[in-house]
Amino acid sequence: MKMMKNNLNKTFWWLVGFTDGDGSFTCYTSKVNKIMSFKLNYHLHKDDLICLNNIKNMLNYSTNIYFEKDNTARLMISNHKFLLETIIPIFDKYPCLTIKHYSYLKWKESLLYYTSKNKENWLLNSEKNKLINNYKLIDNIDIPYELMNINWLIGFIEAEGHLNFYPGNKSNITVRSFLTITQHERSLNTLKAIKNFMNTWTYSNNTPLPIKLFLDEKLNIHDNWVFLSKMSKLNAYTLAINNMDMLYYIVLPKLEAEQWYSRKKDDFIMWKTALTIIIKGLHNTNEGMNLLNILYNNMNKKRYNKQYDIPYEMINKVINMTPIYCPYLPYEINTTIKVKKSGGVYMYDLKGNLFKVFKGASTAGLFFNMKRHQVLSYINKNMIINNNYILKDYNYFIKNYKNNIKK
């Protein structure tokens, strides 16, 4: 019973996150009979019919989905009894985490007033209905950003997020994968809350030790690996993550551990595949680059209005190829090694235990407050640094780490 309740909590948080992005609370007065109609609407591309059906199933709500002439589909929840007994309890317990929180509260107040007071008097004051979605805040009511959680975030990403990658070409080591969310400036505080929430994440337990040490150092120096920036010439901000190691070892495990309910689930699978190919260095193979191009040409809007089946057999074949990159070094170091045949600075204690991993001599120099050439001198002369540590190069690391794994 506890498990069922936990799953229900996750499902409803996803629903609220998705509603924050692609749902709307509306009310409309019929010009014919002056009857008020309150609705919770979802208006999506027709290819995302699966998402609308999933929402119906979550709510156990029976209604038709309407198809429009512009290749869209609409789910309208308009039964006042259902709105009062099901929708309001859900959105009271699991509140919206964007400024749609205020739209919901205004909509709820209007619905409760209309269904409990004299309807004729309400019609005389129906100008209030026009204020439901006016983006105005409500005095003394804050959006409860502290309730942000992974299921809300996935719902919001499915509505407003963008998962993609650039395949480049075989010789292009700047092949990148990224996750972005763009919002109007009035939702800047929501993006800040998402950034703060994601900055509490860390790598999964099965991450190789050298990569953990590398990420620890990056997280200690840069707590802003989730970037937030204003878009030029637009009243909008974008939250972006494009660091490959952060995406693969921190973000991906979080996102794949939870349920996805829209067509973006397929985009997530393809994005995860592309990220894995790039992390393993398999984009440097003909098979890997070919698959990246196939996936790229069928992701997101490129897949609208056509039937596409994810090529799982091809994916499994490529993913199971021998990695080009070292599996226990971070992507940032592996790309350097691919070009220069060496990369990284490895810090050991005097007992031979790996203690820290730096991208290069310059990064290590920042840690020890010394110049790059001084770091290289410590490595070349095998000198003890700070009385407790010794710095080694890639050749030493790869030889000793492989031996330790075999033991």
165-207 tens-digit pLDDT = 988 755 554 577 889 999 999 999 999 999 999 999 988 888 9
What is the amino acid identity at position 245? Answer: D
Q: Output the six-digit token pair for 238.
A: 């974008």
pLDDT attached to residue 68: 85
Higher pLDDT: 301 or 10? It is 10
What's the CA gap between 311 and 346, in Å, rounded? 40
d(CA 19, CA 41): 9
CB 83 within 8 A of CB 111: yes
pLDDT exceeds 70 at position 119: no
Weakest-pLDDT range from 55-64, 188-197, 277-286, 397-406? 397-406
**Complete domains list, the chain, with CATH:** 2-147 (3.10.28.10), 171-319 (3.10.28.10), 342-406 (no CATH)
Token pair 């692609």 in the structure block, residue: 22
- pLDDT single digits (tens) 326-354: 999 999 999 999 988 889 999 999 999 99
Run of H or E including 164: strand 161-166
Note the pLDDT of residue 177: 83
Name the pLDDT band for 123 (thresholds 50, 70, 90). Answer: low
Q: What is the pLDDT of residues 220-235, one digit of tens each?
A: 655 568 899 998 778 9
Partners of residue 302 on adjacent β-strands: none
Q: What is the mean pLDDT of the chain?
A: 89
81-105 pLDDT per residue, tens: 999 999 999 999 999 999 999 999 9
| Percentage of the chain exceeding pLDDT 90 | 69
At 2 the pLDDT is: 40
Looking at residue 173, what is its pLDDT? Answer: 45
Q: What is the pLDDT of residues 7-38, one digit of tens each?
A: 669 999 999 999 999 999 998 877 676 677 89
Contact status, residue 239 vs residue 194, Cβ threshold 8 Å:
yes
Place of tokens 């894995």: 276
- In this prediction the pTM is 0.90
Task: Give the pLDDT band of residue 118 (cuts 50, 70, 90).
Answer: low
Which residues have a Cβ under 8 Å from the Cβ of 407 and sit 6 or more positions away?
none
Q: Which residue has the tokens 């409803």?
A: 12
Between 286-296 and 312-319, two packed helices, what is the crossing angle to 10 degrees?
140
Is the pLDDT confidence value at 63 over 90? no
Task: Give the start-end residues of each E strand in 321-378.
Answer: 345-349, 354-358
Q: pLDDT value at position 194? A: 97
